[in-house]
Structure 1
Amino acid sequence: MKTANYFKNVSLTALLAMGSFVYAQDTADADNSTNIKEMADKACDCAEKISVNLTREETVEEINSCITAQITSNQLMSSLKGLIEEAAKEIETDSTAVVTDTITDEQIKNINISINSEENFEEIQAYMFANCSAVKTLMASNNIESKHSMSKNKKALEFYYEGLDYYEKGKYDMAIVSYNKAVKKDPKFAFAWDNLGLSYRQMGNYKEAVKCYKKSLEIDPTGVTPLQNMAAAYTFMEDFKQAGETYEKYIKLYPNDPEGYYGAGRAYYMGGNHEQGVDNMFKAFKIYSETKSPYISDAQQMLAFFYQDLEQKGKLDIFMQAAKNNNINIQDEEE
């Protein structure tokens, strides 16, 4: 895992380039793009086996393990294929040579296979984040169960799963009806309150969504989903003060989760508190990088936007001070 020292020499040119991030399949040659897609698709199959009942950090670690395993497997197969091809060439100079598609233990011992598990890692990760439905589902899941997460009331559960079905079909108005029935049957059904809030949010009714998240937090004050989504709802309502304060509560509970810092960074900056906005975004960027999170590109783009916006406002010192506070040395390559 990288440490803070990794960030000591971030160049200004590289930072500005962050704002125009594109996926590798748009810039790499056709052959490499095809190879990345093939590895990403296989890693996606691996991701489908990952449990949704994990923390965000554990989820990212599992996804990254799928990617690393696929890269290693691909490089090993390429190396072994090369060995077979070399053996095939022997027939050209030695008529007695026998070529097979079988590699002996002795041949494997004698070949120097160098595996680089980092090769194409970011490109594969970015492709999966954009195209792998399993990864999208995992990264959207925060349903870590607590005492009152699920209900033991059979009728409440029936309405809850009915709501899930409506929600997945995009029938948010019907989902609202079902989830309301579920919480009436069991007022302490936290997940039902969470999903009711999500449904109201999809309908653009942020005030009702906030009320649902507050109900959920009364049941479980440490709930990940209600805290994150309540902060997001406040952001949509342009109540940046409340959004920032809610993200701060999330950060206190989950200091190692970059989502809190990222959300706080956006909320504070949009609310005019540039100092806290940039500082929190740098914190999010560092954790995303350390955990190799596919969300790192979002933080990169936000930092690039902050830099350009503050430069236009003549307040670039705010950006540089925040970088210094986070042990990041921004260097201009032209100097």
Structure 2
Amino acid sequence: MKLKKLPFLFLISSTILFAQETEPELSQEDLIKEFGEKSCKCIDEIITFNKNKEEIRESIQYCIDKDVTAYQMTSKLMEATKTKGDSEISIGMDKESDEYKKYYYQIESFLMENCDTARDLIQSNVGEESKESENPQALEFYYEGTKLSKEGKLEEAIKFYKKAVKEDPNFAWAYDNMGICYRRLNKLDEAEKAYKKSIKIDPTGKMPLQNLAVVYIHKKKFKKAVKAYEKLKKVDSSNPEVYYGIGSVYYSGLNDNENALRNMCKAYKLYIAENSPYRSDAEKMINVIYGAMKINNNEAKFFEILKENNINME
């Protein structure tokens, strides 16, 4: 769809110009922040009860989608006021178009850096197959711990998670969340123990397997981190977090750019397939790896690996 600068649009432009004479000029960063915060507020209101991860992801996507067109329009009008002469303002409405995705990804990137709710929903164990405890008292302690954790009261949350596993020693989720709290407090040994207890209860637990790898990364035990991710891959080979994690470890910890790139390409494609906001992180990492391989005069291998994965780099 193309919108010409007819009187209606000109009126909008004139209003913006008038505002610029009396107020500081609005920057692109301010604009992204304005619409990003609107999307974050929408995500805050998402009801997760009885929703699986796919349904939650779709709800997050809806919150971003509803602001993309307005953000795109405002951004282009702002640019139009800086140029002289008549021009056309083209608005990309097709969600599969590069134009639309550009503005979608800008809001999405803001959310991943600034919206705690968005990150927490994507990383949570909501919708996982593991069952909650059937012990009412353990559940009461668990939910109190979750509430305190969201409030940032991590030490107090841990106390309630401990009460939960005392009531139900097989309550894996309580150990999972306990591990998260310990990790945020940088008590890595305690976090490792909590995740291992959860894995002992449920060897196929995706959340503790992934978070154990993260703990090993923080402890600079990079080979153990890769092994932990490899165990997770056996449980869930289509999980992009596995390949993103392995790629990051190979790049940052083991100085192996080629294996880093191979895994990051797999992560990127899987993120794209499931429309995950983390695709932008994988894309950034691919560009970082490109820079490293370019310095080492290994560009040819870089493009060879991209070709193997059917990825084109513009």
Q: Tell me whether the two structures share a fold, i.e. TM-score over 0.5.
A: yes
Query: Which one of the candidate residues 296, 302, 313 is aligned to 2:279?
Result: 296
The code of the aligned residue for 1:308 comes to G
Residue aligning to 2:118: 135
Residue aligning to 2:59: 62
C-alpha offsets along residues 12-59 of structure 1, whole Å, 9 cap, x if unaligned? xxxxxxxxxxxxxxxxx9487776656545544443224276555543
- If you compute each CA radius of gyration, which structure gives the higher value, 1 or 2? 1
Q: Give the unaligned 5+ runs of structure 2.
A: 1-24, 75-90
The code of the aligned residue for 1:156 comes to A
Residue aligning to 1:321: 304
Query: Which one of the candidate residues 289, 292, 301 is aligned to 1:309?
Result: 292
The code of the aligned residue for 1:178 comes to F
Q: Cα distance 1:255–1:274, how it changes in 2: closer, same or farther (>3 A)?
A: same
Distance 2:30 2:190 in 1: 46
Distance 1:230 1:257 in 2: 16
Distance 1:130 1:329 in 2: 26
Give the superposed CA RMSD.
3.2
Distance 1:58 1:267 in 2: 30
Distance 2:50 2:224 in 1: 29
SS at structure 2 position matched to 1:289? helix
Show the 5 A alignment for 1:121-200.
121-146=104-129, 149-200=131-182
Q: Give the unaligned 5+ runs of structure 1.
A: 1-28, 79-113
**1:150–1:191 contact (8 Å) kept in structure 2:** yes
Residue aligning to 2:194: 212
Distance 1:36 1:166 in 2: 31
SS at structure 2 position matched to 1:275? helix
Show the 5 A alignment for 1:270-281.
270-281=253-264
CA displacement at 1:280 relative to structure 2: 0.6
Matched, 1:223 2:223: no
**1:50–1:62 contact (8 Å) kept in structure 2:** no
**2:105–2:280 contact (8 Å) kept in structure 1:** no
Quick one: percent identity of the two aligned structures?
40
SS at structure 2 position matched to 1:319? helix
Normalising by structure 1, report the TM-score: 0.67
Q: Cα distance 1:50–1:125, how it changes in 2: closer, same or farther (>3 A)?
A: farther
Normalising by structure 2, report the TM-score: 0.71
**1:61–1:291 contact (8 Å) kept in structure 2:** no
**2:132–2:173 contact (8 Å) kept in structure 1:** yes
Bigger drift between 322-331 and 233-242 goes to 322-331
Which structure is higher in RCO with an 8 Å CA cutoff and minimum separation 6?
1
C-alpha offsets along residues 49-95 of structure 1, whole Å, 9 cap, x if unaligned? 242765555433332233334446x59x99xxxxxxxxxxxxxxxxx
Distance 1:171 1:250 in 2: 30
